[in-house]
Structure 1
Amino acid sequence: MSFTQQELADPELSGSEPDLADDGPPRTGFFRASGRASGRRSTSRGWKFWVGIGICAFFAVLAVIAPFLVPNPNQSSPVGLQPPSAEHWFGTTNIGQDVLGQVIAGTTGSVVIGVVAGAITVLLSMIFGIGGAFLGGIWDNLSSLVSNVFLVIPGLPLLIIVTDYVESRDIIVISVVIALVSWAGAARVLRAQTLSVRSRDYVDAARVASESNWRIMLREILPNLMPIIASQFVFGALGAILAEAGLSFLGLGAPGGKSWGSILFFAQNAQAITLGAWWWFVPPGLCIAILGAALGLINFSIDERINPRLRTAAIVKHARRKGATA
């Protein structure tokens, strides 16, 4: 999700225009889109969100029940490199391991890495972005300095170096490392939005009423930033899954831990492409692509709610289509 400097500086362009409701502080366009005024429009655009949620829910359930479906994904058979058949739906590897079982078992590792890395990314971006911008002064300067340092460092080389020097590379460690090198961009976006929200009239009214900083943060500022935070979590999870697949493909993934990236790594080492064993690398690659597309659809649907340009374009397009039909 991208914002121009004008969108970040101007609250009218940032998608957080105030609502005229009398029962609370202004709400962002994401929450207003669920109201009566936009209920008819959201029906035609909501397919992205629901399709993405459905695919993600499927993989999440599969990740939970994977240990029960495939207790031993490393079990081998006498004959290797067998194409898909009734006995082995996705074929077998060079040592006779069932590819379907490995893909199901690898779902757990990939989903856990995405969720953990996305959560840590959001947490760090909230601390350095929202916290620094709300407190201001030296805290804002220090948080901006730290985030700027992480922004100028190339992400992939830093990720490879840190992962290579980590002694214990399990799934959680890989998730933490990925989150540590990818949170700075989200922090900058949240900082800009916090600077815009904290200057609103209802925040000034809360200060005049002698409300504490924690209460202002939790009740006045965070509710207006939740759409962006949700989008940053989805984007962080997507980036973490792709980064883990890249690290595993380079041999820097969790040793012995099954994930879709590790399946691609072993397939590449065994020269599956040269041998024509497409059934070995296509299923895990397709799973990464499908899950990535689902997370992208969710992110696009959130972006349509909080980005006024996309929201206006969708309204105009819907009106033209309705006029052409009439």
Structure 2
Amino acid sequence: MAGVVILLALVLTAVFAPLLSSYDPGRRAGKPHVQPSYEHVLGTTRMGKDVFTQLVHGARVSLAVGFGAGIFAAMIGLAIGISSGYFGGKVDDILTFFVNVVLVLPGLPLIIVIATMVEQASPMVIGLVLALTGWGWAARTIRTQTLALRTREFVLSAELMGEKKWRIILVEIFPNMLSFVMGGLVLGTIAAILAEAALEFIGLGDPNAVTWGTMLFWAQRNMALQSGAWWEVFPPCLAIMLTGAALVLVNFAVDEITNPQLKASRNIGRIRKFLSRRGRSADVF
């Protein structure tokens, strides 16, 4: 619940960014290096731009890149992993070959090469490259789990009853993959947000775009910490940290809900606490 609340707050902040600040994130809004005050909640940059305005508007691009790349990579990994594990044979050999190619294909160096070719890599280009190169581990994990499920009784029963393959995949196998899909989505989203911020921080992104990464880029270039303007650095760092923490918390909850063993162990722990409060023995468990 804590992860959902934090994530929902970040998403709503990004959606209603124009209503939260009347300043333009790309234009000067006050004097340079103004400390946080009533007029400027998080102060201003060396160029006089409002930091809070850049933070809420930058959340739009950073979260869009992160969630877009994470969802796209998770869906590709899910489709290829289940297909490879369930159909087997030549389909498995071909898809496993592509998975191995993607696993050895470095995403960040590829973006660096593309950035040098196009001079400036936009956030959309960064997100697309990260999505196309970030589904390998999810596909391999889901394939392994599918290989274990395809011989289970409920799958064999569905095949003997003449169920269509697409229905077996969607109804019988896919629900058992929710924890793996969510794990791939969370890891892919966090990796995309961090990669986008890191690439823009080192100057390979579009410096004219307003994202959390470009905020850190201009703060480093203007020597914000050296001049004591900490309010230029910490807000985007905290935003990235809170986003990652919220996604990890949600992932823990989904894993516990979809994993019967984790759910049963938690219920047993609650029963033990209840019995200990009643003064009864919990050795039966």
TM-score range, shorter chain: 0.7 to 0.9
Q: Which position in structure 2 is the counterpart of 1:235?
A: 187
User: Which of 134, 139, 147 lines up with 1:187 in the alignment?
Assistant: 139
The answer to whether structure 1 residue 66 and structure 2 residue 13 are counterparts is no
Residue 153 (structure 1) shift: 3.9
Call closer, same or farther: CA 1:152–1:320 in 2, change over 3 Å: farther
Contact 2:35 2:44 in 1 (8 A): yes
Report the CA distance shift for 1:311/1:205 in structure 2 as closer, same or farther (over 3 A). closer
Partner residue, 1:53: 4
Work out the CA distance in 1 between the residues paired with 2:254 and 2:273: 23
1:265-284 map, 5 Å? 265-284=217-236
What is the CA distance between 1:120 and its match in structure 2? Answer: 0.8
Q: Distance in 2 between matches of 1:168 and 1:203?
A: 50
The 1:205/1:298 distance shift into structure 2, 3 A limit, reads same
Residue in 2 aligned with 1:244?
A: 196
What do residues 57-99 of structure 1 show as CA deviations (whole Å, max 9, x unaligned)? Answer: 1111111122344462122145201111111110110011110
Cα deviations by residue, 1:171-205 (Å, 9 ceiling, x for unpaired): 32221111122111111111111112221222222
Gaps of 5+ in 1: 1-49
Instruction: Write the distance in 2 (CA, Å) between the matches of 1:320 and 1:110.
Output: 44
For residues 97 and 256 of structure 2, what CA distance do their matches in structure 1 show? 31
User: Which residue of 1 is the match for residue 125 of structure 2?
Assistant: 173
* Alpha-carbon separation, structure 2, partners of 1:181 and 1:234: 15
* Contact 2:69/2:130 (<8 A) preserved: yes
Residue 117 of structure 1 corresponds to which residue in structure 2?
69
Query: Partner of 1:210 in structure 2?
Result: 162
Residues 115 and 204 of structure 2 are in contact (CA less than 8 Å); yes or no, is this contact kept in structure 1?
A: yes
TM-score computed with the length of structure 2 as normaliser: 0.88
Q: Deviations over 1:245-300 (max 9, x none)?
A: 11111112244221111100110111111111101111111111111111111112
1:34-45 equivalence runs, <5 A = none
The answer to whether the 8 Å contact 1:117/1:240 transfers is yes
Equivalent residue, structure 1, for 2:281: none
- Is the contact made by 1:125 and 1:187 (CA closer than 8 Å) also made in structure 2? yes
Distance across 1 between alignment mates of 2:277 and 2:18 = 52
**How far off is 1:141 after superposition?**
1.0
Normalised by the length of structure 1, the TM-score is 0.77
Contact 2:86 2:150 in 1 (8 A): yes
Identity between Structure 1 and Structure 2 (%): 39
How many Å separate the matches in 1 of 2:133 and 2:168?
30
Output the amino acid matched with 2:2.
V
- 8 Å Cα contact 1:169-1:255 kept in structure 2: no
- Name 1:257's counterpart in structure 2: 209
Distance 1:319 1:157 in 2: 52
Q: Residue 101 of structure 1 corresponds to which residue in structure 2?
A: 53
**Separation in structure 2 between the aligned mates of residue 133 and residue 149 of structure 1, nearest angstrom:** 17
Q: Which amino acid aligns with 1:172?
A: M
Report the Cα distance in structure 2 between the residues aligned to 1:166 and 1:144, rounded to whole angstroms: 32
Distance 1:215 1:78, change over 3 A: closer
Which blocks of at least 5 consecutive residues in structure 2 are unaligned?
279-285
Aligned residue number for residue 197 of structure 1: 149
Comparing 151-160 with 245-254, greater Cα deviation is found at 151-160
